[in-house]
Chains A and B, each alone.
Chain A
């Protein structure tokens, strides 16, 4: 987001600058590294079918990671997204299969468009609850979203008594057919979910760059007190980011149940951790104030390609976890080293100039 301060570098610090540039481009370098590595070592990795399959996997994490990025930039965390995915899948599935039974003996069925709308509003609502807990009741983000994590997962399990809602083909008389189009549909050769991801990513990047609320998100995370004193409505900004995160999670819930044509209440478990990993890998600072949507998307691709590639190479899933963990830690260590190096270079220049 912020431009490099050291670009005024003098010839004396040329070494430092080269190293700095390399460090700044680390996510890109990591992305190319994993692609090249698997292109050589994993059979069929570069085939079109595999690329499309992989991008569908990546898209799910990328949605959550985008919402998470805004939350982390404000200095918070949203642990509830995985559960929102599960709950929203169940809501969509339940509405398609059974509608809403009213106590007076009638059952309301909604058409597909309304069902999607209702599902997305559930995501927004849980985000709103998170935001209100954090701002109005002063609950720490970690605790507030841990609470909603359990509540949403519990509700998802309650909705079907732990059972799966199968076979979500819908009924033509209620206009609920075609639910599979989100997961399996294609537009101009690309899966629908990828198109939605592109649209949402562009929107999020636009919000971050060119709207007051976007600017305020960074200010709140960079220095909440200064933001408050500048007249920024910190509470509204925070509620906004949790609602956006909830919306992203609801979208993932719809897409997953559409891909499977079934809704399972345990869907999305530990998705929140993957989302945090992607955001951090993409250069989002856990202490707030720094991060980009573009970086997060790249981070999601690195993680997604890494795990799919390892599967294709036949590496055991236990080793996959170890490798993923190492990659995340190395990313953050490099991030910190870059900060320190940059600071040192600037300070030494000033000390010499002074």
Chain B
């Protein structure tokens, strides 16, 4: 790392900070410095620990070991409010807005402008909120309900909220993931203004070109460890990729050419209304052959997860028809669709994939217990044997299958969720962001497994927001945008540019008109 211009410019320092969750070492002995009036960009793959590191600074998480030094003094934040009192603001990756309140009420939540006993001064709040929104050129009225805004504009509200804090340190966790190009430009203008005012900014993004443009300092994370720190003008994108991935290329499973069979799965006109009006999934029709891997690419809020949930039968209000092996599946609930040969690996492993209090073994066999039961008695030996096979097949590193599932790393937990789905002997496997939040080694294992399953004749649909991943793994690529299927590419004809262009369709200012 090149010498800093002057060390008294440092406003905050992390000293040997580690954060451990049950089962996952999210951050390992990180040292990081933030400077006044400079943008520190943070990059790393999904699950590298960027968000965790920032949540430690913002007081959301407390470090397991290590210290935070602010203005030369060690501090510890019990809550985001404590960090805010020290002038630290954060824009979270997951939007933290109250959908049932107006934009102004959201911006001033916990810091309401009051007039003594006469309660909240709504007019003053709206006026001030409009001033912030105007700086963002957002075209949002502060009196609008947040739930009525499209996702991109909600993100702008989140940014306005962070600006209103007058923070000395402002952390932005992927602020542009749902913004259009024009909105990104405005955000960059605001960042430049804040920088001139001496605010220390942390900027997290996956988009390398953004980082190169606005970053002053760069820190690269891999598997919870800081693997590179540099001044942005000294480096190029190649350096970032090398620090991020370790070697120059990702360890994608080699695509073995195997015969693709007959059509195994077809979805027709899958539609899901949004509770707030509009459609989350808009008449999506697609088909997958046996042995084929279909990658579904799309930005945040494009409707990928919702599409999978419709297919597995999670939403009562969804319409459309699905066919497996040429036969229409009329069953409407998850249980019977699983029996028909569908299986879903949910995006949110902790909330929908695992039962945390149960053991590794119980989690694996959870969806397929009836296979091991005669009448009502579970054949313990048969179950154990099947669990042992699954652990071996998926190379799950489980010291003892009777331990709680949370005692393992995120990658191994993901393999358990995959194992659970596979133990139901599916014909069609739906994988929603299968590589989210797992380490590089586990990712490679998961990708190899996908290849092997496809070679065995399984039809696989997987979704991802990682362009490289969708390009490397898919036989065909479907692009979703705003709930609609906008394009399907064969692997041979797909280019990154074409996919990005397709995925950007329908994301923009016109969303304002949607009620």
Tell me whether A and B are bound partners.
yes
Closest to B400 in A: A3
Pair A210/B377 contact, Cβ less than 8 Å: yes
Q: Does B18 touch A at the CB level, under 8 Å?
A: yes
Q: Does B22 touch A at the CB level, under 8 Å?
A: yes
> In the assembly, what is the distance between CA of A228 and CA of B376, in Å?
20
Q: Does B67 touch A at the CB level, under 8 Å?
A: no
> In the assembly, what is the distance between CA of A289 and CA of B355, in Å?
9
Pair B407/A5 contact, Cβ less than 8 Å: yes
Closest to B349 in A: A226
Pair A232/B64 contact, Cβ less than 8 Å: no
Q: Does B353 touch A at the CB level, under 8 Å?
A: yes
| Cβ proximity bits A179-217 to B, threshold 8 Å, 1 near / 0 not | 000000000000000000000000000000011110110
Which residues on the B side are within 8 Å of A212 (C-beta)?
369-370, 373, 376, 378
Q: Does A350 touch B at the CB level, under 8 Å?
A: yes
Q: Does A40 touch B at the CB level, under 8 Å?
A: no
Which residues on the B side are within 8 Å of A218 (C-beta)?
355, 357-358, 362
Q: Does B338 touch A at the CB level, under 8 Å?
A: yes
Q: Which of A211, A229, A346 has the most CB of B within 10 A?
A: A229
Q: Does B442 touch A at the CB level, under 8 Å?
A: no
Pair A211/B377 contact, Cβ less than 8 Å: yes
Pair B353/A229 contact, Cβ less than 8 Å: yes
Q: Does B420 touch A at the CB level, under 8 Å?
A: yes
Q: Does A231 touch B at the CB level, under 8 Å?
A: yes
Whole-angstrom distance between the Cβ of B436 and the nearest chain A Cβ: 16
Pair A211/B373 contact, Cβ less than 8 Å: yes
Which residues on the B side are within 8 Å of A211 (C-beta)?
373, 376-378
Pair A219/B355 contact, Cβ less than 8 Å: yes
Closest to A223 in B: B355
Pair B354/A226 contact, Cβ less than 8 Å: yes
Which residues on the B side are within 8 Å of A157 (C-beta)?
none
Pair B403/A231 contact, Cβ less than 8 Å: no
> In the assembly, what is the distance between CA of A231 and CA of B420, in Å?
11
Which residues on the B side are within 8 Å of A2 (C-beta)?
357-359, 402, 404
Q: Does A225 touch B at the CB level, under 8 Å?
A: yes
Closest to B370 in A: A212
Q: Does B20 touch A at the CB level, under 8 Å?
A: yes
Q: Does A138 touch B at the CB level, under 8 Å?
A: no
Whole-angstrom distance between the Cβ of A304 and the nearest chain B Cβ: 28
Whole-angstrom distance between the Cβ of A213 and the nearest chain B Cβ: 7
Pair A231/B367 contact, Cβ less than 8 Å: yes
Which of A3, A227, A231, A290 is in CB contact (< 8 Å) with B338? A231
> In the assembly, what is the distance between CA of A231 and CA of B343, in Å?
9
* B contact residues, range: 35 or more
A79-109 residues at the B interface, CB under 8 angstroms: none
Which residues on the B side are within 8 Å of A233 (C-beta)?
333, 335
A-B pairs with beta carbons under 8 A, tally? 112
Which of B18, B353, B369, B376 is in CB contact (< 8 Å) with A354? B18
Which residues on the A side are within 8 Å of B337 (C-beta)?
231
Q: Does A12 touch B at the CB level, under 8 Å?
A: no
Q: Does B424 touch A at the CB level, under 8 Å?
A: yes
Pair B20/A215 contact, Cβ less than 8 Å: no
Closest to A343 in B: B22
Pair B376/A213 contact, Cβ less than 8 Å: yes
Pair A3/B402 contact, Cβ less than 8 Å: yes
Known: A8-B399, A290-B357. A225 touches B352 (CB 8 A): yes
Pair A228/B334 contact, Cβ less than 8 Å: yes
Known: A3-B359, A219-B366, A347-B20. A229 touches B377 (CB 8 A): no
| Cβ proximity bits B357-392 to A, threshold 8 Å, 1 near / 0 not | 111001001110110010011101000000000000
Q: Does A222 touch B at the CB level, under 8 Å?
A: yes
Q: Does B222 touch A at the CB level, under 8 Å?
A: no
> In the assembly, what is the distance between CA of A347 and CA of B25, in Å?
9
> In the assembly, what is the distance between CA of A215 and CA of B361, in Å?
11
Q: Does A14 touch B at the CB level, under 8 Å?
A: no
Which residues on the A side are within 8 Å of B334 (C-beta)?
228-229, 231
Pair A229/B373 contact, Cβ less than 8 Å: no
Pair A351/B376 contact, Cβ less than 8 Å: no
Closest to B338 in A: A231
Q: Does B395 touch A at the CB level, under 8 Å?
A: no
Which of A8, A215, A219 is in CB contact (< 8 Å) with B378? A215
Closest to A212 in B: B369
| Cβ proximity bits B73-104 to A, threshold 8 Å, 1 near / 0 not | 00000000000000000000000000000000
Pair A219/B20 contact, Cβ less than 8 Å: no
Q: Does A230 touch B at the CB level, under 8 Å?
A: yes
Pair A229/B314 contact, Cβ less than 8 Å: yes
Which of A221, A290, A351 is in CB contact (< 8 Å) with B25? A351
Which residues on the A side are within 8 Å of B312 (C-beta)?
229
> In the assembly, what is the distance between CA of A104 and CA of B311, in Å?
57
Whole-angstrom distance between the Cβ of A344 and the nearest chain B Cβ: 10
Whole-angstrom distance between the Cβ of B368 and the nearest chain A Cβ: 9
Pair B357/A222 contact, Cβ less than 8 Å: yes
| Cβ proximity bits B467-479 to A, threshold 8 Å, 1 near / 0 not | 0000000000000
Pair A229/B352 contact, Cβ less than 8 Å: yes
Pair A223/B362 contact, Cβ less than 8 Å: no
Whole-angstrom distance between the Cβ of A336 and the nearest chain B Cβ: 15
Pair A223/B351 contact, Cβ less than 8 Å: yes
Q: Does B505 touch A at the CB level, under 8 Å?
A: no
> In the assembly, what is the distance between CA of A175 and CA of B25, in Å?
70
Closest to A224 in B: B355
Closest to B378 in A: A210
> In the assembly, what is the distance between CA of A350 and CA of B26, in Å?
11
Can you pick out 5 interface pairs between chain A and chain B where the beta carbons lie within 8 Å of each other? A212-B378, A223-B354, A227-B355, A228-B314, A231-B334
User: Interface residues, chain A, CB within 8 Å of chain B?
Assistant: 2-3, 5, 8, 210-213, 215-216, 218-219, 221-223, 225-233, 289-290, 343, 346-348, 350-351, 354
- 8 nearest CB pairs, A to B: A222-B355, A231-B338, A354-B25, A289-B357, A212-B369, A230-B367, A222-B357, A231-B335
Q: Using A215-B366, A225-B351, A231-B335 as known contacts, list a sample of 18 further A-B pairs with CB atoms less than 8 Å apart, ordered by residue number in A.
A: A2-B358, A2-B402, A2-B404, A5-B407, A212-B373, A218-B357, A219-B366, A222-B355, A227-B366, A229-B346, A289-B355, A289-B357, A343-B22, A348-B64, A350-B20, A351-B25, A351-B65, A354-B20
User: Interface residues, chain B, CB within 8 Å of chain A?
Assistant: 18, 20-23, 25, 28, 64-65, 224, 312, 314, 333-335, 337-339, 344, 346, 351-359, 362, 365-367, 369-370, 373, 376-378, 380, 399-400, 402-404, 407, 420, 424
